[in-house]
Amino acid sequence: MLHLDSSHSGDSVTRRLTALFADTWRKAHGPSGHRHRDLAADPVPPVAPAYCALGRRVERHGPVPPAKVEALAEDADERREWALTRPLIMELLAARTVVIGAPMYNFSVSTALKAWIDRVTFPGAFSDPGSGASLLDGTRVVVITARGGAYGPGTPREGFDFQAPYLRAYFGGLGVAEENLELVHAEMTLAWLVPELARFQDMAAASLAAAEARITALATA
């Protein structure tokens, strides 16, 4: 299991929920095989021009397996960008389950998560060189979100949710099967903090309890 956290907050709902998933997963499947990466405490560097230059060169060669990308690098900057990128790709390829803590920041994802997304999305990294099929077809991805407000169907801010559609489109584009992609939302998390939202604390508690139950079920499966 690859376990990613991306919240910059020490008092993070997503961190508590991804920890619940990880603890439940280890109890069900054993303590080994759990890899945790904190994208906020140990941020992934934004991609540099050399990353883009190497990526374009790889694209001109068609699908290139990660083991052969370094041979296409033309200078030290490109080799450095690939050295930063390959371990992240290999972690994702090795995982059968990926759990991601994704707080909603300004209606989308955090910069920490976006930097990881930009770097691992290297041309051809997740395609079989022979068939072109996605190497992530059998990978299960569980994204756990926390939103300060409510963005579900029928809510006033339903149209402001650029987080869930983006993540569904992104992982679907990588080839993660629709049935293997789960998004679990804890909503109204600011109800315990912002006085104007205090009247929604029951809603927040119900949403959090539902998220915890769903996470426990997914981690046990």
Instruction: Name the residue range of residue 110's domain.
Output: 2-220
Does 104 appear as a known binding residue? yes
The pLDDT of residue 100 is 98
Does 9 appear as a known binding residue? yes
Does 180 appear as a known binding residue? no
Q: Is the pLDDT of residue 96 over 80?
A: yes
**For the domain that residue 199 is a member of, what is the CATH number?**
3.40.50.360
The pLDDT of residue 169 is 97
Place 130 in a pLDDT band, splitting at 50, 70 and 90.
confident
The DSSP output letter for 167 is: H
Q: What CA–CA distance (Å, rounded) separates 69 from 65?
A: 7
Dump pLDDT digits (tens) for 5-26: 999 987 899 999 999 999 999 9
Dump pLDDT digits (tens) for 46-89: 999 999 999 999 999 888 889 999 999 999 999 999 999 999 99
Q: In total, how many domains does the chain have?
A: 1
The pLDDT of residue 214 is 98
- CB burial of residue 69 (10 Å; 0-12, 13-18, 19+): buried
Residues 6+ apart with CB under 8 A from 70: 79, 82, 86
The pLDDT of residue 221 is 87
The pLDDT of residue 73 is 97
Question: Exposed e or buried b for every residue in 33-49, given b needs 16+ CB within 10 A?
Answer: ebeebebbeeebeebee
The pLDDT of residue 10 is 77
Q: Is the pLDDT of residue 143 over 80?
A: yes
At residue 95's C-alpha, the angle toward residues 129 and 23, to 5°, is 170
Q: Is the pLDDT of residue 149 over 80?
A: yes
The pLDDT of residue 129 is 84
User: Between 92 and 11, where is the model more confident?
Assistant: 92
Dump pLDDT digits (tens) for 153-207: 889 899 999 999 999 999 999 999 999 999 999 999 999 999 999 999 999 999 9
178's tokens: 């629709």
